[in-house]
Amino acid sequence: MYFVTEALYFPPPNTADEQGIIAIGGDLSVERLLLAYSSGIFPWYSDEEPVIWWCPNPRCVLLPNMLHISKSMAGIIRKKQFTFRLNTAFSSVMQHCRHVKRGTDGAGTWINDDMEIAYNALHNKGFAISAEAWHNGELVGGLYGVQIGNMFFGESMFSLMSNASKFAFINLVQQLEANGTTLIDCQIENPHLRSLGATLIPRDEFLNRLQGIETATIKS
């Protein structure tokens, strides 16, 4: 197991163990997070643990053109029950993802104070974005993630009203596709993501799609 030092370095992601763990330790600086995501690695850990870095195999992803919109969701979108906004309440979205209980994903308590600070810093640098569903002037659903080049790395979502997070996700995917995003990383498969069109691909295929995004964006 590789233990992260102060150096900005991760071992090759395809050397992760059977669980998908690639390294342990280190910090959540903007520079390290950008290196991690551009390498196909993401942090996921609990308060009592050091930072744990993951690159699971297989990988759950969504090709934007494979987005599935059910008939019921299409009806909700037509009725304009929600309003979609982008990046107007990033910090609030993170806090809701941290505290709102979810039927399929648990309570989301893996998002801790350090995570909030780190991803708000990424947001302030223009790399982390929030997609939001609003109803009668109130934030009722959404998600956040990291955008690097033509890849979006989803992190977490929440919903205070039925279908609000799906509404935000669908609108985000459509906007990302229009802006040239070619792949959305969903990390770990679950029924909610599958219902929206997400699928599993081998880790090597996922890593091949990352080639070139670090040079194209982090250095710009």
Task: Please determine, for residue 219, whether its predicted confidence score (pLDDT) is greater than 80.
Answer: no
Mean pLDDT in residue range 142-165:
96
How far from each other are the two terminal CA atoms of the chain, in whole angstroms?
Answer: 32
34-43, 89-98, 108-117, 136-145: which range is least confident on average?
Answer: 108-117
Q: Which residue has the higher pLDDT, 198 or 104?
A: 198
Average pLDDT in the 112-126 region?
97
Q: Which domains does the chain have, with CATH numbers?
A: 2-58 (3.30.70.3550), 60-199 (3.40.630.70)
Cα 111 to its chain centre, rounded Å, is 12
Query: pTM higher than 0.75 for the full model?
Result: yes
Asked whether 111 and 164 are in contact (CB, 8 A), the reply is no
The residue among 152, 141, 195 whose CA lies nearest residue 64 is: 152
Q: What average pLDDT does this structure show over 122-145?
A: 98
pLDDT at site 214: 55
pLDDT at position 106 over 60: no
* Contact indicator for 134, 167 with CB cutoff of 8 Å: no
Query: Where residue 102 falls among pLDDT bands split at 50, 70, 90?
Result: low
4, pLDDT greater than 50: yes
Given pLDDT bands bounded at 50, 70 and 90, which one contains residue 48? confident
* Residue among 130, 133, 175 nearest 156 (CA): 130
The proportion of the chain whose per-residue pLDDT surpasses 70, expressed as a percent, equals 93
